[in-house]
Structure formats: C-alpha cells, structure tokens
Amino acid sequence: MNSFFKYFADIFSGVKSLLTGMTVTGKYFFSPGQIVTQQYPENRKTLKMYERFKGEVIMLHDENNHHRCTGCAICELNCPNGSIEIISNRIDGPDGKKVRIIDKHIYHLGMCTFCSLCVKTCPENALAFGQEFEHAVFDRSVLTKILNQPGSSIIKGTEE
C-alpha cells in the first residue's frame, strides 16, 4: 500500500515541476516587452552586436596606419591550435640596434577557437576582437587573413 501512495506522489511531483517550468516559459512567450530573438538576416542594417562579442581577431590601427604590434610572438606561442603566424625581420634601426619589424601577421580564422588567449596575453594590446561574424565561404583559403594592413608601421615609442 505504501508503494501505491509513493507512485502517485511521484506523478504529482512531476506534474507540479512541469507546470512550474511551463509558467516561466509562458511568461516569456506572452510578454511583449522581453523580446530577445533577433530577426537575422532581415535586420542586417540595424543589427548591433554586443561589445563583448568575439567575431574575429583584428589588429588595431590608428588613422595614420600605425599599429602597436612589436612582433614579439607571444600571441603565436599562446595560441593553442596555431591560428596565428608572425613572420618578422630584424633590420638596423636609426641608432644602430637591430629592430624587429613585422612582415606579415597571419590569422587563420578557420582554425581559431575564439579562446581569446592571443588578445589577453598581448603585452602591447595590439589585438582585439572585431564585430564581423559572417564568414560562410566556399573556399577555406579566404579565411586566412593578414592582420597588419599594407604599408603599416609600428607606433613610435612602442618598445620591443
């Protein structure tokens, strides 16, 4: 007889739990003030991504096409899957010392896991996440990007 009451008590508990969950769901379903669904792609022109959104890694450049990357390769070393490659050269600086310059800062978006280790560990804050997120392509080679812009140079005063 005891198991008979336990059986119906368990059924009653399950139905109560179901109704509690459905109450929360119904509140979001029927309240017009709390719309969280974006109507993408219809709203492409008005779509604004949140500031913390991780779209793709970019190298920040100022209006004079200068960047802060010294080519130290800390981002390349910290990347867990090799999404970043830095090809750099050493040239003679104005004071006779060897200075490292970046030939190419290569970013393989197709391999990136968006872990943000490269952005967090950059000592010069040269890297950041952009807001671009539409990367559906037929050719995977398009996902390999050169982050330093053509003709760019390091900002004066940035030490290696």
Per-residue confidence in pLDDT tens, the chain, 160 aa? 678 889 999 999 999 999 998 988 888 777 766 666 677 777 878 887 788 888 899 999 999 989 999 889 999 999 999 999 999 888 877 777 888 888 999 999 999 999 999 999 999 999 999 988 888 899 999 999 999 988 888 887 666 5
Angle (CA) 74-79-81 rounded to 5° is 150
pTM metric for this prediction: 0.70
Residue ranges per structural domain of the chain: 1-37, 57-154
CATH architecture group of domain 57-154: 2-Layer Sandwich (3.30)
The two beta strands, 98-108 and 153-154, are unpaired
Q: What is the pLDDT of residue 101?
A: 84
